[in-house]
């Protein structure tokens, strides 16, 4: 597998605005931020999907997320974040290397919730607990 854009950033071959790094992870500011502070946390292990990462890399990645949240909390005076993973190309992943978007959130910052990702899905009304129970049953057997 050839080195991804993020592997090249981790290795210092491509410049980045590094926020922090730790054992098994590297964090840098997104070059196309949704808002100031939008940070990417990437594992040093190059894989496309979360499930492909070793257990140690997944654990390290989450430690990186928490570390970055602490840094962003201080800078933006918030404890609220949108934490987003696009796990594969069909899910919107643009660089084939696992990465987690950490976006600090503040009141009236212009960001939206899940309905912005699925604008044609109705939200509200009564939940269909029968369909939910059937799906949960199938998933729990897998």
Per-residue pLDDT tens over the stretch 76-94:
999 999 999 999 999 999 9
Q: Given 38, 97, 99, 101, which residue is catalytic?
A: 99
Residue 57 · residue 44 · CB < 8 Å: yes
Higher pLDDT pick, 54 / 120: 54
pLDDT in tens, 6-63: 999 999 999 999 999 999 999 999 999 999 999 999 999 999 999 999 999 999 999 9
When divided into structural domains, the chain yields a total of 1
Distance, CA of 118 to CA of 93 (rounded, Å): 16
Could you tell me which residue, 5 or 132, shows the higher pLDDT?
5
Q: What is the CATH number of the domain that holds 111?
A: 3.30.428.10
Question: Taking 90 as the threshold, does the pLDDT of residue 119 lie above it?
Answer: no
Helices then strands (H, E): number in the chain?
3, 5
| Residue 142: pLDDT band with limits 50, 70, 90 | confident
- 99 catalytic residue (yes or no): yes
Find the domain containing 88 and state its range. Answer: 5-140
For 58, 66, 70, 101, 109, the CA distances from 9, given in Å and listed in that order, are 19, 21, 23, 16, 29
């Amino acid at each position: 597998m050839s080195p991804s854009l993020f592997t090249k950033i981790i290795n210092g071959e491509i410049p980045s605005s590094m926020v922090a790094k730790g054992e098994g992870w590297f964090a840098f500011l997104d070059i196309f931020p949704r808002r100031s502070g939008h940070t990417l946390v990437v594992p040093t292990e190059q894989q496309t999907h979360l499930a492909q990462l070793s257990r140690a890399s997944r654990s390290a990645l989450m430690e990186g997320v928490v570390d970055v949240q602490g840094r962003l909390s201080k800078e933006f005076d918030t404890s609220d974040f949108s934490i987003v993973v696009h796990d594969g190309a069909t899910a919107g992943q643009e660089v084939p290397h696992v990465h987690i978007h950490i976006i600090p959130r503040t009141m009236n910052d212009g960001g939206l919730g899940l309905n912005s990702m699925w604008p044609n899905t109705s939200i509200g009304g009564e939940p269909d607990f029968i369909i939910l129970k059937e799906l949960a049953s199938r998933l729990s057997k897998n």
